Amino acid sequence: MPMPRVRLRLSTLLCATLLAAGACAAAPRDKDDKKADTREDGTHRFALIGHSFNDGGEKRLKKAIDETDDKSTAFVVVTGIKATGEPCSDKLYQQRRELIDDARRPMVVLPAGSDWTECRNSAGRTNAIERLNRVRELFYGEPSSLGERKLALTRLSMSPRFRSYAENAHWSMGKVLYATVNLPANNNHYIMEAGRNSEYEDRLVANRFWLNRLFAIAKRDKLEAVVLFSEGDLKALSQPTGFRALLRRAVPDNDGFAETRRQVLALAQKFQGKVLLVDTAAPAKGAKPAIEWRGNVGHLSTGATALEVEVDPGGKNLFKVEAP
């Protein structure tokens, strides 16, 4: 299989060698990038690029990347690398890797369902697992973000039991822990037919371990917030409470997000800080992306837009959305 055209420095190669030991640090930063650093009071900003391939495709993605390159963002989270109708080919994956890797800012790529869950081989059979593994090889093989300026990441794959799950990564800015979780929008790749859910079930176990670890870190380090990025919407704020919740638990549920949703809400209930869930679901018609809160749990759907979030620990609101 063709390998991507990747510009690797000696330090990056060394980090790849030391990945299993977790001994890597971020690559040196250019002097003109200091404005993107977290300030002493913890204030910083990050950008989000929603799943842009249903409208405008690669051209729209490139425009969004160019816009974030010109601003003092600490990092950019990109959801998805291709549209459902585009080929699941190494060539296309490699082109998108090069496009994202050319950005000046640290680029954290979050897989979307269209990148792998709907891929088919020449015989028309599902090719999801093989394509997900290929995406992992091309986009998550290093202990850092993509982009010219690197951001050190801790990947789930550093745990021997979950070595395959490199797409799940976490990093910190100030007193906020950020993390990606592979939860594709098409019902978390939960397949209704019996006996065909092995990928979903294995990833469910990995994600359960990952979420427990994230909140343990946040509690240990006395952090103010945990931000979780996923493509799929957990619908954590739309669930019934009280007696209605008890009734719902008694009903069989084919919701692929149900267990993860229950876990996140349970962990958030025991956490002293805020928990912000960010996904790419489309906001209500005519509404601009905004954070909705219930207790200490917040929810932000970006849709296919690109936007920025300011994080200000000393401000009235810890997170402030700056929609386009």
13 domain residue, yes or no: no
The larger pLDDT score, comparing residue 230 to residue 246, is at 230
Q: What whole-number distance in Å separates Cα of residue 130 and Cα of residue 135?
A: 9
Q: Which domain holds residue 237?
A: 43-322
Smallest CA-to-CA distance from 295 within 313, 263, 271 is with 271
pLDDT band at 84 (very low <50, low <70, confident <90, very high): confident
Q: What whole-number distance in Å separates Cα of residue 239 and Cα of residue 233?
A: 12
10 domain residue, yes or no: no
Identify the bridge partners of residue 293 per DSSP, sorted by sequence position: 298
pLDDT over threshold 50, residue 4: no
User: Residue 37's pLDDT is what?
Assistant: 56
Considering the chain, what is the average pLDDT of its residues? 84
214 domain residue, yes or no: yes
H/E stretch holding 17 reads helix 10-17
1 domain residue, yes or no: no
Structure tokens at 184: 């594709």
218 domain residue, yes or no: yes
pLDDT over threshold 60, residue 45: yes
DSSP state of 47: E
38 domain residue, yes or no: no
User: Residue 248's pLDDT is what?
Assistant: 52
Domain count, the chain: 1
Share of the chain above pLDDT 90, in %: 63
23 domain residue, yes or no: no
Q: Residue 164 maps to which CATH number?
A: 3.60.21.10
Rg for the chain, CA atoms, rounded: 19
User: Residue 54's pLDDT is what?
Assistant: 61
pLDDT band at 194 (very low <50, low <70, confident <90, very high): low
Rounded to 5°, the CA angle 25-30-35 comes to 100
pLDDT band at 31 (very low <50, low <70, confident <90, very high): very low
204 domain residue, yes or no: yes
User: Residue 197's pLDDT is what?
Assistant: 85
- Give the mean model confidence (pLDDT) for residues 254-264: 95
